[in-house]
Amino acid sequence: MEAAIKTIVDVYLKSSGGKDSLSAGAFQKLVKKQLHNIMTDTDSSKAIKDMRQGLDDNQDGKVSFPEFMTLIGYLSTSLSEQRAKEANPAETPEAGDGAAGDQEAT
Ligand SMILES: [Ca+2]
């Protein structure tokens, strides 16, 4: 768990060049490089741009660390719902709206 937290912070700071916010380009690069297995649409620059705008609470065009954590929280929630569903197929809880689309072939 501690390693996971450190990884998030390290990856963020590495991508931002040590700054407290990610530029549009840096965010795009980070998502494509680090999140392409867990997220769908990472090939689409427009989809990433839309996502960035959705995360950008203060509308400054950049993704601050708290804004970035919104994405991590969202992905973690989606993954946890997906795993719970796989473990208990009968219960089928209502999933989120599906950003974590790592469907495995059955
Ligand atoms: Ca922002």
Residues whose CB falls within 8 Å of the CB of residue 34, separated by 6 or more in sequence, listed in order:
11
Say how many Å lie between the CA of residue 95 and the centre of ligand 1: 27
Taking CA atoms, 23 is separated from 28, 41, 69, 89, 100, in Å, by 9, 19, 15, 40, 23
What does pTM read for this prediction?
A: 0.79
pLDDT digits (tens, 9 = 90+) for 48-80: 999 999 999 999 999 999 999 999 999 999 999
The reported pLDDT for the residue numbered 56 is: 97
Say how many Å lie between the CA of residue 104 and the centre of ligand 1: 34
- Helix or strand holding residue 22 (H, E): strand 21-22
- Rounded average pLDDT over 15-44: 94
Say how many Å lie between the CA of residue 23 and the centre of ligand 1: 9
The reported pLDDT for the residue numbered 97 is: 61
Say how many Å lie between the CA of residue 43 and the centre of ligand 1: 23
Say how many Å lie between the CA of residue 74 and the centre of ligand 1: 17
Q: Are strands 63-64 and 21-22 parallel, antiparallel or unpaired?
A: antiparallel
